[in-house]
Amino acid sequence: MAKRTSLHGFWSSRLAFVLAVSGSAVGLGNIWRFPFVAGENGGGAFVLFYVLCVFVIGLPIMISEVMIGRRGRRNPIATMRIVGEEEGSHSSWGLVGVMGIVSGFLILSFYSVIGGWTIAYLGYSLTNGFSGLSAGEIHGLFSTLLADPVKIVALHTVFMALTILIVGRGVERGLETLVRFLMPALILLLGLLLSYSILAGDFSGGVNFLFRADFDALTPESMLTAMGQAFFTLSLGMGAIMAYGAYLPEGTSISRTSFAVVLVDTIIALVAGLIIFPIVLANGLDPAQGPGLVFETLPLAFSSMPMGGLLAPVFFALLLFAAWTSAIGLLEPAAWSVESHGRSRRSVALVIGVVIWALGLLTIFSFNLLADVRILGGSLFENVDHLASNVMLPLGGLLITVFAGWVMCKNSSSEELGIGTGPGYRTWRFLARWVAPISVLLVFLHAAGILGILGLV
Ligand code: TRP
């Protein structure tokens, strides 16, 4: 078959691709979402189950997404449709791309709100700083922010505008440069914060909380959340990674690249946990307090550490950049798909961005004006997050891995992966055909209580 070539050019190097995919993967999911869901689900067993999901489900699906993306070299909808037909299956595989775009809308709608909180904290750290503030005062800062919908709407607007700006210009310009500097700087700063937690926090308590597993306490719902977190943090299941794979030059090893990204992403999340929980425990805070966790713990570290006044703004600026590069990855598949129907990228990014922005108001108001609205026991924000992260992403990932393992023939996948048909290839194919899809299904059935009804657990 004649190889397709990318319509938007290629990444300038393998490193550029690694950086772009890690830019999408590493974001609020690692530093904001992972610690708070781990805290809400009791740490330990939840964390280990999450790591298991990352390597057993996430890694083979990441490889599958990049592979399908490079095979199709189009936007995710067109790619799934074209490769599906080419493999003698159906063009309706394009619907997986459509579902992915909807998941991206839902996720970006709240992602941008949290991006706005990050801007607020960058503002605090630049103006008054946190130095000398007590835990109570830092808590007050956060609750005052949450109670101010006008301010959050404004910041959400700024964050969304920044995202629309880059996506409207075309992702390949700018993103590479941004991430190339961002990743090393973020890792350096996390290293500094980690040494603070080791020295000043309850580090052994934090390690215990994160890694001491009590599997009896792992509920089916927690398992679903851990799996959802694995998809969320790796940007999987919605075609985002597929869109980046479309720009990948031939001859770059997909499996090694994916492994590197998965490893870096997981280490960053675990380090974020190792920074946050020692501070939580040393200050008698509640690990299960929810989405405010990072915003109420890290300022405490900055308030008492040497040079905290200087490091705080640097940290929140880096977190903002990390969130920004992820938000770009969330909007890109939708922008690219609609753009190819003959509309300009700028106008498409703007229109879609405004729709997502409006959806984001639900999240904002769920922390203040509409805090009393509960659906299925959760707030509006929790429902949007749960539907997108825990249901739609794993479902998308399931379909993608079935496509890569069952619809694509052996010749196509081994040719595209370029690793022959040896043990490496066979391992991937086994994981993609059997282990990943069955695991996702089992977690779904377990969460729905069906395994229990059948008397299997
Ligand atoms: N992975 C990002 C994070 O951890 C969030 C994200 C970016 C994402 N793109 C995505 C999640 C695509 C799911 C799908 O912050």
* DSSP assignment string, 165-182: HHHHH-THHHHHHHHHHH
| Residue 265 Cα: closest atom of ligand 1 | 4
| Residue 240 Cα: closest atom of ligand 1 | 12
Alpha carbon separation from 241 to 69, 305, 383, 431 (Å, rounded): 8, 38, 24, 18
Q: Does ligand 1 have an atom closer than 6 angstroms to the CB of 29?
A: yes
Cα 52 to averaged position of ligand 1 atoms, centre (Å)? 19
Q: Does ligand 1 have an atom closer than 6 angstroms to the CB of 293?
A: no
* Protein residue whose Cα sits closest to atom 13 of ligand 1: 235
Cα 407 to averaged position of ligand 1 atoms, centre (Å)? 26
The Cα–Cα gap between 67 and 241 comes to: 10
Show the DSSP H helices in 237-283 as ranges.
Answer: 240-245, 254-282
| Residue 236 Cα: closest atom of ligand 1 | 14
Q: Does ligand 1 have an atom closer than 6 angstroms to the CB of 281?
A: no
Q: Which of 402, 324, 390 lies closest to 160 in space, CA to CA? A: 324
Cα 132 to averaged position of ligand 1 atoms, centre (Å)? 35
pLDDT at 178: 78
* Protein residue whose Cα sits closest to atom 6 of ligand 1: 235
| Residue 28 Cα: closest atom of ligand 1 | 15
pLDDT digit string, tens, across residues 413-439: 999 999 999 999 999 999 999 999 999
Q: What is the pTM of this model?
A: 0.96
According to DSSP, residue 4 is labeled P
| Residue 238 Cα: closest atom of ligand 1 | 14
Q: Does ligand 1 have an atom closer than 6 angstroms to the CB of 240?
A: yes
CB-based burial label for 1 (10 Å; 0-12, 13-18, 19+): exposed
Cα 204 to averaged position of ligand 1 atoms, centre (Å)? 30
pLDDT mean values, one per 10 residues, the chain (457 residues): 70 80 95 98 97 98 98 97 96 97 98 98 94 93 96 98 91 72 90 96 97 93 98 98 91 92 97 97 95 96 91 95 94 89 90 98 97 94 98 98 98 94 96 98 96 83
Q: Identify whether the C-beta of residue 60 lies closer than 8 Å to the C-beta of residue 401.
A: yes
The Cα–Cα gap between 393 and 96 comes to: 11
Structure tokens at 223: 């398992």
Q: Does ligand 1 have an atom closer than 6 angstroms to the CB of 25?
A: yes
Alpha carbon separation from 412 to 92, 236, 239 (Å, rounded): 20, 22, 19
The Cα–Cα gap between 437 and 448 comes to: 17
Cα 26 to averaged position of ligand 1 atoms, centre (Å)? 8
The Cα–Cα gap between 17 and 23 comes to: 9
Q: How far apart are the first and last CA of the chain?
A: 48
Q: Which of 101, 105, 80 lies closest to 333 in space, CA to CA? A: 101
Interacting residues of 16 by C-beta distance below 8 A, sequence separation 6+: 176, 180
| Residue 330 Cα: closest atom of ligand 1 | 9
Q: Mutate which of 114, 271, 318, 326 to test ligand 1's pocket (most atoms within 8 Å of Cβ)? A: 326
pLDDT at 171: 67
Q: Mutate which of 22, 111, 159, 232 to test ligand 1's pocket (most atoms within 8 Å of Cβ)? A: 232
pLDDT digit string, tens, across residues 356-379: 999 999 999 999 999 999 999 899
Q: Mutate which of 107, 175, 179, 264 to test ligand 1's pocket (most atoms within 8 Å of Cβ)? A: 107
With residue 94 as reference, give the H or E element that holds it. Answer: helix 94-127
Q: Does ligand 1 have an atom closer than 6 angstroms to the CB of 235?
A: yes
pLDDT at 174: 64
* Protein residue whose Cα sits closest to atom 8 of ligand 1: 235
The Cα–Cα gap between 149 and 144 comes to: 10
Residue 378 bridge partners (DSSP): 375
The Cα–Cα gap between 135 and 31 comes to: 20
| Residue 25 Cα: closest atom of ligand 1 | 1
